[in-house]
Chains A and B, each alone.
Chain A
């Protein structure tokens, strides 16, 4: 009887010490242990699996609710200049949202005032060596059309890279409209215009998808 309980005690202690060793504590370079890895790691396709990371959407497909693809090829700026914004009835709310996105993705270089002096440049003091384009009204880039702004956001220009992986097409068009609206162009139609849903309705986008099939 005494022997059994002693064995039990030592087993409990040894097991406890072993489990405690798995518990990695603070600032550890190694991850902790997991139990039942088959319940922990996904067997279904998941985003961070090495096979699937960094894949692009299948060619010729459009996500539900997404705008139609943009067919201007890189380098064709003459055509890009003429493309009109497909978002025809942008509301004040859209512009407010566009301002928020602009401040996150563009304002870091081009400045929240569009003056080309964002926190990364800071008049030459920041880490970014080249002066970002001044997009403000009356500035050298104020003549760019929305189509051209969209083109630059899609493919990049000079030192600026493409933002197509961060901003979807609708967000890029909204930003183009926002930039023009800050430059003084009238974007929002007359206030009596019917309110517009923020994203294209699923039904409409279904129609879009069928159009895209080639």
Chain B
């Protein structure tokens, strides 16, 4: 990450005056030895923010007002419901194409009517002048019309066929109901538990791991009731958080009154959401440790999801696209030390960065073997 998220930036800074100075010239503020600024600078690996001396106070106020406005908007959206963010983008493009489709249809009908009128007028004119015209063929037996209809049907049918076939085996947006309404938003977003706390395998293994129940009980031995904001399912049904924790106790056989395990535990059968076909090899530790990817790159804004849905397409095109564009963290990464030629070229300034594709990230047998 290059810098802090800007949401709520005005609340975080000790004074507005200082924030203005910081935006205009961060190096000057750092030179004064301000504690907050220094901490911030150190926290983000001493990446300096470029100075913007040309900004007037008014410019900066406008930017801050925009940030404040967006911050509140985001909160409002989060309260309104879950999964809306992911649906939003797709919804917009869908609306547009529907509009274009309707316009096309209307224009086509108008064109058809005009053609009919034209031929009728021609016929009338011909009748008036006494020229004999052949008996008109009704349009449903007119060969040109039939051919046109067939072509249109083929195109439409083909479109749906291809689209449906591409959609086979893809589950973007899949949001199954889980045996326990576990909210990532509560655990990750509100209580700041790191992803790796539960998914400890993401750094060590192919699998990120669905956490075992003892990891839940690390905290839930003591936390037996839910006191946070109301939880809702995607359908808008209200969830009783305390009852959901009780479900966990039933699974593990824990008695919160006696504070001990009284029954044998049984596994929670979580429904798997993200899945790749068996003929694809995917390794979490490779992406997290060597590739230094954030969980959110593929799993989306997990920290805002009450119920998790599949954020990314997880199709081959999606993988390849990312491999083509993602730049490998080449420096200070022992994993790539064998690519001496690239290291030399980076040093010589021949190339400025190395993509995953350049280190073999789009070779077939990287993932299919």
Mark A residues whose CB is within 8 Å of B: 2, 5-6, 9, 12-13, 15-35, 39-44, 46-48, 50, 53-54, 103-105, 108-109, 119-120, 126-130, 159-163, 165-168
Contact B169 A33 (CB under 8 A): yes
Contact B222 A128 (CB under 8 A): yes
A66 to B: closest C-beta gap in Å? 11
Contact B207 A13 (CB under 8 A): no
Contact B160 A162 (CB under 8 A): no
Say yes or no: A34-B168 contact (C-beta < 8 A), given A104-B196, A128-B219, A128-B222.
Answer: yes
Contact B227 A23 (CB under 8 A): no
Contact A161 B278 (CB under 8 A): no
Contact A19 B161 (CB under 8 A): yes
Say yes or no: A166-B207 contact (C-beta < 8 A), given A20-B164, A108-B192.
Answer: no
Say yes or no: A28-B159 contact (C-beta < 8 A), given A12-B154, A39-B278, A104-B194.
Answer: no
Contact of B90 among A26, A44, A53, A128 (CB under 8 A): A26
- Chain A residues contacting B341 (CB-CB under 8 Å) are none
Binds A, one of B23-31, B55-63, B171-179, B291-299: B171-179
Q: Is B279 interfacial (CB 8 A cutoff)? A: yes
Describe A's contact surface by its main secondary structure. loop
Most buried by A among B160, B207, B228: B160
Contact B153 A13 (CB under 8 A): yes
Say yes or no: A20-B169 contact (C-beta < 8 A), given A13-B156, A108-B194.
Answer: no
A99 to B: closest C-beta gap in Å? 13
A126 to B190, CA, bound (A): 10
New A-B pairs, 15, CB < 8 Å, besides A16-B161, A24-B174, A127-B228: A6-B150, A12-B153, A16-B159, A20-B167, A30-B174, A32-B170, A42-B278, A46-B278, A48-B210, A54-B267, A108-B191, A108-B193, A127-B223, A161-B215, A163-B218
Q: Is B277 interfacial (CB 8 A cutoff)? A: yes
Size category of the B interface is 35 or more
- Chain A residues contacting B86 (CB-CB under 8 Å) are 26-27
Q: Is B212 interfacial (CB 8 A cutoff)? A: yes
Q: Is B157 interfacial (CB 8 A cutoff)? A: yes
- Chain A residues contacting B309 (CB-CB under 8 Å) are 27
Contact B215 A12 (CB under 8 A): no
Q: Is B16 interfacial (CB 8 A cutoff)? A: no
Q: Is B287 interfacial (CB 8 A cutoff)? A: no
Contact of A29 among B167, B177, B215, B222 (CB under 8 A): B177
A10 to B: closest C-beta gap in Å? 8
Contact B160 A32 (CB under 8 A): no
Q: Is B217 interfacial (CB 8 A cutoff)? A: yes
- Chain B residues contacting A19 (CB-CB under 8 Å) are 160-161, 163-165, 167-168
A27 to B236, CA, bound (A): 13
Contact of A43 among B165, B200, B278 (CB under 8 A): B278
Chain B, Cβ-Cβ closest to A2: B146
- Chain A residues contacting B217 (CB-CB under 8 Å) are 161
